[in-house]
Structure 1
Amino acid sequence: MTTVTQLRKATLVLPEVEEGTHFGMVAFSVRGRGFASVTKDGRVQLHLPQEETDAALAAHPTGEPLVRTGTPIGFRVPLADIDGEDLNALVRAAWFSRAPKRLAASLAAAQAAADSPGGDLPAGIGRPATQALLGTGVTTLEQVAQHSRAELLALHGVGPKAVRVLSEALERRGLALRG
């Protein structure tokens, strides 16, 4: 069973996501375009392309199409009926469907870089922190050293544990975070 808190974590780790309200619902948008919301009765609504909606409907029998003025625009399912992993995947798909093309391409490139060798960022910082750093062009520990602790923590996906792991890796190389 997932919760609004888990939905919030899944959405806010993505670039340029803002939380607000829409018709009294908790809602999430990217550059002003809504992609996820939660109804007062606990149903998550996700704007998805038709093929993603069809797959979600097949995987979740309690789900239903999300329709606006007769046009299918996505998928709705009770939060209690979806597991965290599926929710994360659907949230990402919804974000990609609503994000501007360049921003989506930037995240896709960061994900590809995170999956391939090349940089020397420690794996122990976690995938969200790795993606956040790669999304800002930081691929090496030397580049990490050019930032302060506060700057790193300001990135969505980078938490205290990731900063600690990065600091320890920098220390082993004789480097430190700025200021």
Structure 2
Amino acid sequence: MTTARQVRKAALYLPEVEEGARSGTITFSVRGKVFVSIADGGVVQLRLSEEVIVDALERHPSGEQLVQRGAVIGFRIPLADINGQDLNGLVRQAWIFRAPKRLAAALAEADSGTLPSHSDLPTSIGKPATQALLSAGVVTLDDVAARPKAELAALHGVGPKALRILEEAVRESSRIQASEERQR
């Protein structure tokens, strides 16, 4: 059975997500736009495109369309009726549907594992770790230094070897910056 905790984890893994609450409903939004919520009674509601809604209804017969003012705006299903993998995919699709286009494009780029030109992350951490970090909005060594080690370790794809390499790279970067400041 899928839980609200899993919804929270899947939503907060995505860039720029904020958690909130309205009238007993837990909401997750990206730049002020709600993309998923958990209503009382353990029902998850996702804002999705029409084609994703149609697919979700075919795959999950206990789900239903989410209608607002006569318009279909998403998909609703009891958490008990959906497996975690399907839910994670729908949460991601909902985020993509509601996120600004540039932010969604940045996530797609992160999924490819391609480092942006301004990134100084070491390539030796491997593609899975790179994808995980980029998907979480960690693009530079400064971003790595700003995050708790436990948070980075919790990202799927970031293992002990990647953490060790990142720690060494952050230390080296800090040493170089301190040296440059002394020379000024």
Q: TM over 0.5, yes or no?
A: yes
User: Which residue type is aligned with residue 119 of structure 1?
Assistant: T
TM-score by length of 2: 0.76
From 153, 156, 172, give the equivalent of 1:159.
153
- For residues 137 and 73 of structure 1, the distance between their equivalents in structure 2, rounded to whole angstroms, comes to 33
Q: Which one has the largest radius of gyration?
A: 2
Post-superposition offset of 1:158: 2.1
Post-superposition offset of 1:151: 1.4
The question of whether the paired residues in 1 share the 8 Å contact of 2:113 and 2:134 is answered with no
Gap regions ≥5 residues in structure 1: 139-143
Gap regions ≥5 residues in structure 2: 115-121, 175-184
TM-score by length of 1: 0.78
State whether structure 2 residue 139 is matched by structure 1 residue 137.
yes
CA displacement, residues 79-136 of structure 1 (integer Å, 9 cap, x when unaligned)? 011011000000000000000111111111111226xxx933235748533533xx44
**1:69–1:63 distance in 2 versus 1, CA, 3 Å:** same
State whether structure 2 residue 177 is matched by structure 1 residue 168.
no
Q: Percent identity?
A: 45
- For residues 102 and 149 of structure 2, the distance between their equivalents in structure 1, rounded to whole angstroms, comes to 22
- For residues 84 and 133 of structure 2, the distance between their equivalents in structure 1, rounded to whole angstroms, comes to 19
Name the SS for the 2:152 alignment partner. coil
RMSD across aligned positions (CA): 2.9
**1:51–1:167 distance in 2 versus 1, CA, 3 Å:** closer
- Matched with 1:109 is 109
CA displacement, residues 1-24 of structure 1 (integer Å, 9 cap, x when unaligned)? 100000000000000000001232
Name the SS for the 1:72 alignment partner. strand
